[in-house]
Structure formats: structure tokens, C-alpha cells
């Protein structure tokens, strides 16, 4: 069985949890910790958390497709805030939860204490959201930006698995099969064996997975799918501070992975 089959098999043996059963753990104001791993490490992780976590099931599916388009100014102000290591930064995106056919305009703010706040409103679709009531007000109020001045820069499509600990105090999202499309360069780029794991909890409450991740050599690290997707598909962007992450991607995939010089 290949690694994708192993992932699917392990998920199918876990106890399910529905969206309705997860209503108490939305964590819209939360502390996020990201981890970068490979698919082989994900297999190790799923073996070790079988009896400690539920897996979210939506319409009978445990691997859920997502589609997200990120918006930025013409001079890429939000990308540069992240690249230049500003502690406080923001993102404006339109995300579609493909399985449930729901789309939201979202503004994410991360403060200098590492806490993330997200506000969103439901919109009709990826293409039809600017005229939604409250859309302009949301972006202006939460990002300090004019929605009319923002353009689509990069889109990602990926598969997500969501795990919930048995005490229902945290969520662990696991993203893989991430594919990028850059609207400005028309370039596409995949990520092959890359897995992005994100622990989402309300403060530093005990998490059963932290020690497990450490034991299988998966360590906390910052990673922005938006920024890395832009760096992979647009070599003209400043990306010095992202080079360690791009080089790590090459190591995870065990081959020359990036088609421009780092």
C-alpha cells in the first residue's frame, strides 16, 4: 500500500466526529502552532493518535477538499509584512469548503503575542463576493484596507483532515496535496510529500499531541501557505527570509523541487 493509501486506511479506523459535535470548539480567537512534516511522518502520527483523537467526518468524507484565494495590494503589502517578520500581520482570503459548498470572505489577524483572530462572512462564491453586504466593511474594519484595491494573487487547493482530541479542547488540522496557482504569473506548483499540521487551541492548554510530535521529530515552525505559494510561483518577489523553508521543502521531497534559484 502506498503512503496515500496508508493515510486513508488509518483515518478510516478512527472514531468520527461531526461538525455539529464540534460546535463548542470553533476557536476563532486562538493560539496556533504550525508544524511541517512529510507524508511518511503523517503515517507515524496517525498510528500514534488512534485512541486519543476523533476525525471530523463531513458527508461521509474524512479527507475534505478546500480551495482558498488570497488577495493583496499591487505592491504585495501583506506578503511583505510576513516576509519582513512583522509580528502583527494580516491576510484577506476567500475560502471554499468544497464538500459542503460553503464560501466565506475571511480576514485573519495575528498579533504580536502570537494569537490569531479570524472574522468572516458567508459569500456566494469565489468569484462573486465583493458585492456581498458587509464585505467592504469587514476588510476595512479588520484589515484597514480597501477591498476594491485588493487583487487575487495566489490560490491553493488542498486536502484537509481535522482531528479533535477526546476532551474537545483543541483541533489539529492536517493539510496535504497542496497545489498553487499564481494569478499574476500564471504559474502552477505542487508540493508532493509536504504536510502542514496546525494545532489550534485557546491558549496553552494541555495538548496530548505535542509530545507525540516531538517524539517523531516534528517540531514547531512558522509556515504560510499563502506566502510560500507566492514565493514558489513568482521568483521576482523578495524571498530571502523564506529560503530556509523553501530548502526544507526540497529536503522533504528528496529532489530538486523549486524551478528557480534560491
Q: What is the pLDDT of residues 103-151, one digit of tens each?
A: 999 999 988 777 788 999 999 999 999 999 999 999 999 999 999 999 9
CB of 152 closer than 8 Å to CB of 186: no
* Mean pLDDT (the chain, rounded): 92
Can you list the pairs that 104-112 forms with residues at least 24 positions away whose Cβ atoms lie under 8 Å? 105/129, 105/132, 105/135, 105/138, 105/139, 107/138, 107/139, 107/142, 107/143, 109/142, 109/143, 110/32, 111/87, 112/87, 112/88
Rounded to whole angstroms, the Cα distance separating 85 from 240 reads 11
pLDDT in tens, 154-196: 999 999 999 999 888 889 999 999 999 999 999 999 999 999 9
pLDDT confidence band for 28 (50 / 70 / 90): low
Decide if pLDDT at 30 tops 70: no
Q: What is the pLDDT of residue 94?
A: 98
Contacts of 24 (CB under 8 A, 6+ apart): 168
- Using a 10 angstrom Cβ sphere, with 0-12 exposed, 13-18 middle and 19 or more buried, the burial of residue 224 is buried
Rounded to whole angstroms, the Cα distance separating 17 from 11 reads 12
Give the SS3 label for residue 11.
helix
pTM to 2 decimals? 0.92
β-pair partners for 90: 109
Q: What is the pLDDT of residue 24?
A: 66
pLDDT confidence band for 255 (50 / 70 / 90): confident
Q: How many CA atoms, within 13 angstroms, populate the side-chain half-sphere of residue 156?
A: 22
CA distances to 20, 29, 38, 164, 183 from 235, in Å: 43, 34, 24, 38, 14
DSSP structure string for 15-83 = PEE-TGGGGGG--SEEEEEEEEEEHHHHHHHHHHSTTTEEEE-BTTBSSEEEEEEEEE-TT-HHHHHHH
Amino acid at each position: 500500500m502506498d503512503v496515500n493509501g496508508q493515510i486513508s486506511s488509518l483515518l478510516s479506523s478512527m472514531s468520527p466526529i461531526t461538525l455539529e459535535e464540534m460546535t463548542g470548539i470553533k476557536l476563532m480567537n486562538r493560539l496556533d502552532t504550525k508544524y511541517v512534516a512529510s507524508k511518511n511522518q503523517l503515517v507515524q502520527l496517525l498510528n500514534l493518535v488512534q485512541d486519543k483523537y476523533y476525525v471530523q467526518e463531513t458527508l461521509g468524507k474524512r479527507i475534505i477538499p478546500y480551495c482558498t484565494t488570497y488577495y493583496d495590494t499591487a505592491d504585495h503589502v501583506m506578503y511583505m509584512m510576513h516576509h519582513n517578520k512583522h509580528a502583527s500581520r494580516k491576510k484577506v482570503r476567500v475560502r471554499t469548503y468544497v464538500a459542503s459548498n460553503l464560501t466565506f470572505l475571511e480576514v485573519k489577524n495575528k498579533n504580536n503575542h502570537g494569537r490569531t483572530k479570524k472574522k468572516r462572512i458567508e459569500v456566494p462564491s469565489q468569484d462573486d463576493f465583493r458585492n456581498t453586504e458587509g464585505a467592504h466593511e469587514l476588510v476595512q474594519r479588520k484589515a484597514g484596507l480597501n477591498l476594491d484595491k485588493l487583487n487575487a494573487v495566489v490560490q491553493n487547493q488542498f486536502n484537509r483532515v481535522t482531528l479533535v482530541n477526546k476532551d474537545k479542547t483543541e483541533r489539529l488540522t492536517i493539510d496535504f496535496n497542496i497545489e498553487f496557482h499564481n494569478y499574476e504569473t500564471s504559474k502552477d506548483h505542487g508540493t508532493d510529500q509536504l504536510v502542514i499540521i496546525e494545532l489550534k487551541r485557546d491558549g496553552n492548554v494541555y495538548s496530548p499531541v505535542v509530545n507525540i510530535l516531538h517524539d517523531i521529530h516534528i517540531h514547531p515552525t512558522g509556515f504560510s501557505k499563502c506566502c510560500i505559494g507566492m514565493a514558489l510561483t513568482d521568483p521576482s518577489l523578495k524571498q530571502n527570509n523564506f529560503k530556509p523553508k523553501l530548502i526544507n521543502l526540497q529536503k522533504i521531497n528528496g529532489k530538486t523541487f523549486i524551478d528557480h534559484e534560491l
